Amino acid sequence: MLGWALIFFIVAIIAGIMGFGGIAGAAAGIAQVIFFIFIVLLVISLIANAVRGRGPRV
């Protein structure tokens, strides 16, 4: 998912350089949303892992 955010960010930079303001803004917005979803999922995963813990191995 972080890879998708990076791809949209690169598209936004290229579109901004070429003068396509609308496309650059849309791609930057999509990249930002995907990045924040990634961060939320990372935090949820870390909390779930900490709560679950590791049991003794046999």
Helix (H, G, I), strand (E, B) or coil at 48: helix
More confident residue, 3 or 1: 3
Q: Could you report the per-residue pLDDT of 15-46, keeping only the tens digit for each?
A: 888 887 787 788 888 888 888 998 998 899 88
Closest CA to 27 of 15, 35, 18: 15
Its pTM stands at 0.63
pLDDT digit string, tens, across residues 46-56? 888 888 876 55
